[in-house]
Chains A and B, each alone.
Chain A
């Protein structure tokens, strides 16, 4: 059974700092890995999608890497802003048929002005 772990569970940084969020998964047989952002009481917003054949994806100040063989992904946020404060979720797509997403518990990020 696929398990996804995110470290740290919570992170507080001053505005302007660069930061890294970590995600690990137990079964390397994934189709892709997706990073989401969730604001309190809201749904999920997709940030980056990395296919199993890719090593990284970039969008603006965000960069996500994937090391499928070691079961790890990182989300790098450059020049953090207070508006980046949210919970960041990592999810991997595995399985045949319905292609289920397995989520980590998330990292709650607080960027202090």
Chain B
């Protein structure tokens, strides 16, 4: 079945530094990947849609200069949190949809717990 690998699973960083999170589709090609953010006891909120070879589409209220998304290949998308601050501490999850598989479910990564100190 479709597998999405997300790395790292947790990271602690100092305020002002940048953190990169990777999302890989292991056994399928993902033309589209999605990045979500989840606050404690809340549901997932879509941050941006990442399309291979083009610029990401950000949801309203999400700072594109702060959350840099790169989808350079059909199997890898990265989210870089730049100049991280404590309020960026959250659980970030990616998901992927295989090319042409609108009628198939989405596969999610295992998530990354980011703590900014």
Contact = CB atoms under 8 A, between A and B. Distances in A.
10 contacts: A31-B102, A32-B103, A34-B105, A44-B93, A44-B108, A46-B105, A46-B108, A49-B104, A100-B46, A103-B43
Contacts of A93: 102, 106
Contacts of B111: 41-43
Interface string B40-82: 0011101001010000010000000000000000000000000
A105 B106 contact: no
B43 A51 contact: no
Interface string B1-22: 0000010000000000000000
Given A43-B108, A49-B104, A99 B93 contact: no
Nearest to B36: A103
A31 B104 CA distance: 10
Interface residues of A, number: 23
Interface of B: 6, 32, 34, 42-44, 46, 49, 51, 57, 91, 93, 95, 97, 102-111, 113
A93 B44 CA distance: 14
Interface of A: 31-32, 34, 36, 41-46, 49, 51, 89, 91, 93, 98-101, 103-106
A15 B17 CA distance: 47
Nearest to A35: B105
Nearest to A32: B103
A93 B32 CA distance: 14
Given A43-B110, A98-B51, 5 more contacts: A31-B102, A32-B103, A36-B108, A41-B111, A105-B43
A43 B109 contact: yes
A49 B111 CA distance: 21
Contacts of A89: 43-44
